[in-house]
């Protein structure tokens, strides 16, 4: 156990500074994995994997490292570790993982009475949903991953963002965009699931038609198999 602890300390002290953020224009900030606060990029900053990069209005950042270059457009945010090519299998695994994390937990009844009381989720009733820009930034960042060819990473990133920033998940366009990505990767069942849940959103007529037709065609495709 001692060894692990020491290793952890080392990790902390010397994170692998594998990436570099270069401010191309405007305001670019980042937040390191162990930190809670944004740091501004002056010109260039060396950062580690799992760092979140964010651009404001009229800003642009260039992210290099591990043999790739990525341009982050304005009003976007991105976790650097998403900028990687992952295989279809890994995508499927990630989607499965997402499902695991998504599954509501069943509380087992113990034979002996639990003495702890969890109490009600007091904050639920007082929930104040701030219209969090950051979620939209993240979505934009995720779209840019797709545009840059990191489609699989994009899908994964989007799933995470939709959960962590629920208001983004209520936007039909964004949802349809990423559901289409699933279609493009021929992940029909997952796409179907998405479209079905998209259907429950507040859709315009055209959106509704689009979603319905996509649902039907997927169903046909699935039946054929």
Partner 1 sequence: MISLSEIYSQSALGLNPVNSISELSFSSINSIEFNPSNYNTIKDWVFSFTFGGEVLSDNFNSSLYQVSAGKKFNGHYLQLRYSPGFQKEFVIKSEQQVIYGNDNKSTLETRYFYKELFSAGYSYKLNEKISTGLNIKYLKEEFYKDIVTTIFSDTVYFIPETEQNIFSNWKIDFGFVWNLTRDINLNICSVNLLNIRENADLNEYQNLRLKHNKELLVGVNYNLADQFNFNLSYETNSSFIFGLNALHNFGPFNAGLSVSGFHDKIQKPFFAGINLSGLIITKYFDIALTWLKYFSDRTASYNLNEFKEQGISNIINNQFSNDKILLNAVFKINTLNEQKVKFLDIEIIKSIYPALSDLYLDEPFAKARVINLTDTKIEVKPSIRINNFSNEVLSSSPVAVNAFDTADVNYYLIIPENYRSTNPDLTYADFLISASNDFIDDEIQKPLLINSINAWDGKVINLRYFIKNDLDFSVKYSKNILSGYKTLLDSTISSLLTFRKAEIIFNSFVKNLTYIADPRATEEYVQYPQQTLELKGGDCDDLSVCYSSLLESIGIETALIDYKSDGSIRHVSVLLNTKLSPGQGYLLGANDTKYFLRKNAKGDDEIWIPVETTSLTDFDDAWSIASAKFNKDAINNFGLITGKVEIIDIY
Of 64, 75, 81, 208, the one binding partner 1 (CB under 8 A) is 81
| 8 Å CB contact between 53 and 82 | no
Q: Which of 57, 106, 205, 206 binds partner 1 (CB under 8 A)?
A: 106
Q: Under the criterion CB under 8 A, does residue 196 sit at the interface with partner 1?
A: no
Shortest approach of partner 1 to residue 51 CB, angstroms?
Answer: 9
The answer to whether residues 29 and 61 touch, using CB atoms and an 8 Å cutoff, is: no
Quick check: 88 binds partner 1 (CB under 8 A)? no
Q: Binding residue for partner 1 (CB under 8 A) from 163, 173, 204, 212?
A: 163
Given the complex with partner 1, which of 42 and 127 has the nearer CB atom?
127
For position 97 contacting partner 1 by CB under 8 A, the verdict is yes
Nearer to partner 1, 35 or 217 (CB): 35
* Count of C-beta atoms within a 10 Å radius of residue 107: 8
**Stretch of 64-72, 131-139, 170-178, 196-204 contacting partner 1, by CB under 8 A:** 131-139
Contact stretch for partner 1 (CB under 8 A) within 30-38, 67-75, 202-210, 216-224 = 30-38
Q: Which residues bind partner 1 (CB under 8 A)?
A: 1-5, 8-9, 11-12, 31-38, 50, 52, 79, 81, 90, 93-94, 96-97, 100-112, 114-119, 121-124, 126-130, 132, 134, 138, 163-167
């Amino acid at each position: 156990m001692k060894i692990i602890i020491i290793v952890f300390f080392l990790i902390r002290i010397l994170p692998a500074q594998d990436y570099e953020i270069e401010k191309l224009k405007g305001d670019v900030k980042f937040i390191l994995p162990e930190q809670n606060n944004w740091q501004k990029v002056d010109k260039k900053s060396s950062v580690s994997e799992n760092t979140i990069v964010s651009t404001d209005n009229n800003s642009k950042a260039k992210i290099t490292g591990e043999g790739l270059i990525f341009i982050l457009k304005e009003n976007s945010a991105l976790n650097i570790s998403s900028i990687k090519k992952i295989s279809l299998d890994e995508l499927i695994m990630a989607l499965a993982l997402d499902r695991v994390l998504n599954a509501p937990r069943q509380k087992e009844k113990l034979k002996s009475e639990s003495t702890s009381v969890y109490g009600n989720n007091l904050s639920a009733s007082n929930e104040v949903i701030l219209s969090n820009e950051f979620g939209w930034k993240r979505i934009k960042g995720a779209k840019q991953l797709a545009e840059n060819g990191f489609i699989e990473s994009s899908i994964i990133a989007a799933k995470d963002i939709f959960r962590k920033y629920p208001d983004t998940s209520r936007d039909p366009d964004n949802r349809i965009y990423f559901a289409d990505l699933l279609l493009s990767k021929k992940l029909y069942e997952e796409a179907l699931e998405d479209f079905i849940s998209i259907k429950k959103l507040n859709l315009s007529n055209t959106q509704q038609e689009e979603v319905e037709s996509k649902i039907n065609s997927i169903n046909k495709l699935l039946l054929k198999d």
